[in-house]
Amino acid sequence: MTRVLVTGATGFVGRRLCPKLLERGHDVVATVRRLGLSSIPTGVDAAEIPDIGPDTDWTQVLSGIDTVVHLAARVHVTREGAADPSNAFGRINTEGTAVLARAAATAGVGRFVHVSTSKVMGESSGNLPFCETDPPMPEDAYGISKWGGENALRDAARSMSMETVIVRPPLVYGPGVGANFLTLLKVCRLALPLPFAAINNGRSIVYIDNLVDALIRCLERPEAAGETYFVRDSEDLSTPELIRRITAAMDRPARLFPFPASLLRLAGRVTGNAATVNRALGSLQVDDGKIRRHLGWTPSVDVVQGLQETVAWFTSRTGPRDDADITR
């Protein structure tokens, strides 16, 4: 039986991963900011780690641990409160990962599964999906810090006999999702007119249960040692098609109209929302062929079902809206 330490266990992915690891027969230790204040599944042991950064002491937490799954990270924030965002991202995602990786290697941890991001490759894949042999070119503070974390992990593992696996997911969605995807759900629920009808881009996404299944394979399968993998659902979607799928699952109309992309980008720059607009208009696709070949992994949940499950969760927490509530 493998004893697994999961950082970020109370986050979006961690809440789904820990019960699945228990079902697979693993012992699970979850890091929490403060004992007694965080909800973790029955059967999971809690370890208090108030802060992840360059000064974190992992010595006691790593005692007896066979495998680490590192989910904890500083991710995008809607309203940035840090005076120096780059430093804030780097402190947790780069320096924090480096300290944990060195401590894990020193403690004799056998494998370290690190959840990175497709954004280490950049903000746009262009005409071809990113693959693992492409050179990473992160552009924003988050992507740069996660690329730094990958390199820190590799450096720590090189000096000691610890296996590493790096997983780079694109946008993760599913019940419990937050951030930009939750905002999109709210917009679709209102059936607002949106200027994306003429956009012909491609975006890779991954349903949370598909990602969790991939992480478990990376944890358990010997062939994964030393590898880096992209994961995705079996179907990429354009921005207008994603909106149509979500509104269909909500039984709402998709009110899309064409508008010049150049003017949308200009509006994004003027309003300070250039990054958000560029994500909506650009392509960010990944090739998951490597993990399929190496580990025999395929996503078990298709996009239609994944979006239906996500919408069902969203509706259950917000309540139904009838046609009288729809903006016309």
What are the catalytic residues? 142
What type of residue sits at position 55? D
How far apart (Å, rounded) are the C-alpha atoms in residues 2 and 67? 7
Q: In what order do the strands lie in the sheet with 111-115?
A: 45-48, 27-32, 3-7, 67-70, 111-115, 163-168, 227-230
Q: Backbone dihedral region of 179: left (phi > 0), alpha (psi from -120 to 50 degrees) or beta?
A: left
Count other Cβ atoms within 10 Å, centred on residue 155: 13
Element (H, E) at 267: helix 261-271
Contact 98/156 with Cβ under 8 angstroms?
yes
Q: State which H helix or E strand residue 217 sits in.
A: helix 208-220
DSSP string for 122-143: -S--TTS-B-TTSPP---SHHH
